Chain A
Amino acid sequence: MPDRVLIPARRAQIAQARPAHHAPHAATAGKPLSRDALAALLSALPRRQPLLLSFSHDDVMQACGGVQNAVREEMAALRKAGWHYLHASPAEPSLAMPPPADAAASLLALRLDGVAIGTAPAACLAAALGALRPARLHAVVHHLIGLQPEAVADVIEAAGLRHPIVWVHDFFSLCPSYRLLRNDAVPCGAPPRGSQACDICVHGEQREAMHGPRIARFFERMRPFVLAPSGSALALWRAGAAGLPRIGEAVQPLMRLGTAPGTLPHGAGGALRIAHPGMRDYGKGWPVFEILAARFAADPRYAFWQIGEDEARPAAHGIRHRPARVGPATPHAMVDAITETGIDVALLWPLWPETFCYVAHEAIAAGAFIVTHQGAGNLPALLRDHPGSGVVLPDTEALLALFDGDGLARALGARRRQFGALLPLGGSAAWLARRGEQDLPARHAMRA
């Protein structure tokens, strides 16, 4: 259904869309590790303790975001269970897949049990793991962006493994446009490669010529087990992944949310506080929030807030800003900020199908009422699982109508803030536990 309110924002996004090229945007400081030094570090690990080899797109102890949360929680869960955790990410993170021949792109930043141990080429890591052959080992690929899938497969194979877990935190394994936004603007659902839609998309050429074939070869070599953090993410991924061989797939939520009825009413301080929790980003729905804030800037019923980082992007229309950054030392920063700011309503209007959405869980836990839409990926299911936590609307016309009329006041009038607790499930750790492997998944069991 056309979404008239969004047309100007969509047009602006379409006009500025560009293909993602491999261009390192940061460098991880770290001492170069020789193969011998790396082998010595790994061989010092007690052999009876299992090791999880994990790949993602950046340094999870430095960067913030959903994938980084998931990896940190996974590491924490496995460490509690007595595992060691070796994390590898590009030493020079990038928003695209580096060419296979780019030697510099194979340099990995390594953390062992959360501690930076240095950088090493993927071939060096492969050789160290190959020589060591830890007794019990498993591999997880959280993200491939910025990594060479060939190099990742080489490392996993050298360690004697196949069938790693591959996560669907987003849709990078289907398209360089990892949110499945055609021309960075319109949800596309991953149509067949070479379709007319791909022909006119800024990402189509890469998807057809490089990305798609390289990802396909990775899946053919690895035949992974695919985990998605929500049913909607798995369904969408599956629809576009017909040609990607895997040994299985399952849903593994990243977090459990427990809520309890509260006693505090909404809007006790006057205007209802409406927040955009998260980045000022098109995909996260910032344009919709700006439209809403502009339209109701002079309406005394509402006050508008953005909770998160400002990313040096301006906010107009009287939108107030409360900084919050969820990181290794501040895992509750978003919950705390929403609570302390007294946010009544979290507008979560992602313009892509969110695969999990940590911030929605955080907003509910902080007592906010969620307003979202049908195309928001995991959000409608989340609200179905937590009745009374929010409302799912068909489109932005309905959103404006909700704010124009007294719909929001009525929805919140009799409601009491319900606060909640968030229980991280540990990512792959939870899946291995479900499989009865949280103890020690034997390497031979995971071999082809």
Chain B
Amino acid sequence: MRCVPDIHCFTSANLAYLDRARVLGESLRRHQPGWRFTLCLTDALPEGFTLDLAAEPFDDVVRLEELDIPEPRRWAFGHDIVELSTAVKGPMLCRLLGTGAKVVYLDPDIALFAPLDDLPGLLDRHDLLVTPHMLAPEDRGPPGPINEFNTLRHGVFNLGFLAVRPSPDGLRFAQWWRDRLLDHCLDDAGNHPFTDQEWVDLAPGFFPGLHILRDPGLNVACWNLSRRPVTIGGDGAIRAGGVPLRFFHFTQIQRAVGEEAIAAFAGDDTAVFELVAWYRRRLAAHAATGLPEGWWAYGCYADGRPIPRAHRRAWRASAELRARFADPFAAGPGSLAEHLLAQSPG
């Protein structure tokens, strides 16, 4: 009989984020060695590239095809790279809750700096745990409450973290969220509920067992840094907003915009840049060697042409297209690609 772990943690990522998922896994093994950790892979391995679980900080890898999603490949076509890794979170949550475990989701670009030992106890008392982007009004950084505007556009809670227990209401939340994500996970903030995240703004009303975590050491990121300055004491402890830092969300840190966002809200702190430099070193140590540049199994048509976002949107929007083209990734005469290109202006 297989033992149900106290906490089953998962992340979702394509291979381009494998380095981040590895750093997360490394930090989990250090601070929560008893948790089971699964990578939900929204990608397929290129020829010659292998994932040796014995050498990876994951206990399992679950592929898109293993999730309870009808016609997963055709469904994947309707999503860009961010949307797909986000949309699978609902089905994956349902899958793991079905084992009877309490489930924690963490974004791949998160790293733990201290244990999260209190989560199992909190999940004994609450159905689901969330962390708001912000715990206090913005009072420094660039002019204007930019993070408050952004939070209002992208959702009150940051869904880089979510914890759910397999209680009736926990399962009801997971099923509801899964259903919304299967059909409505879109990266189009302002015009549509933002990906998986903005839907959860409804959850406090729907699910009385939702509990908001208010520990400033959880989910520290550029959007809340102005109220949670990172400091490192003479005792060697890293703190955020004066309390022990437990996990940091390194959003878009591989791009200049990620560090610029941190710099904009870091104020006089340089300790946060030490975290960034450390994270980059860990990413370099965990780079996915041998992965072709720009690889994503669902990124191109069969002839190698990148799939424009407009094609994905058209596929999603049209039941007729979905009925007419069995394999949306096909290329050549009679394909969806040819059809949509013929309709493109110019």
Contact = CB atoms under 8 A, between A and B. Distances in A.
Interface string B221-242: 0000000000011111110000
B274 interface: yes
Interface string A17-36: 10000000000000000000
B173 to A, nearest CB: 34
A200 B269 contact: no
A10 B236 contact: no
Contacts of A10: 270, 273
A189 interface: yes
Contacts of B278: 199-201
B237 A196 contact: yes
A182 B275 CA distance: 12
Nearest to A2: B268
Contacts, number: 64
B246 to A, nearest CB: 11
Interface string A196-233: 11111110000000000000000000000000000000
Given A2-B269, A7-B270, A191-B234, A183 B114 contact: no
Contacts of A198: 236
Contacts of B270: 7, 10-11, 14, 185-186
Contact of B277 (A2, A15, A188): A15
B69 interface: no
Nearest to B30: A199
B80 to A, nearest CB: 31
Contacts of A14: 270, 273-274, 277
Interface residues of A, number: 25
A201 B236 CA distance: 11
A186 B268 contact: no
29 contacts: A2-B269, A3-B268, A4-B268, A7-B268, A10-B273, A11-B273, A14-B270, A14-B274, A15-B273, A17-B277, A185-B270, A185-B274, A186-B232, A186-B270, A186-B271, A188-B232, A191-B233, A191-B235, A191-B236, A195-B236, A196-B114, A196-B232, A197-B232, A197-B236, A197-B237, A200-B238, A200-B277, A200-B278, A201-B278
Nearest to A15: B277
A192 interface: yes
Q: How big is chain B's contact interface, by range?
A: 20 to 34
B113 interface: yes
A88 to B, nearest CB: 35
Contacts of A11: 270, 273
B112 to A, nearest CB: 11
Interface of A: 2-4, 7, 10-11, 14-15, 17, 182-183, 185-186, 188-189, 191-192, 195-202
A369 B195 CA distance: 63
Nearest to A186: B270
A196 B238 contact: yes
A189 B237 CA distance: 12
Contacts of A15: 273, 277
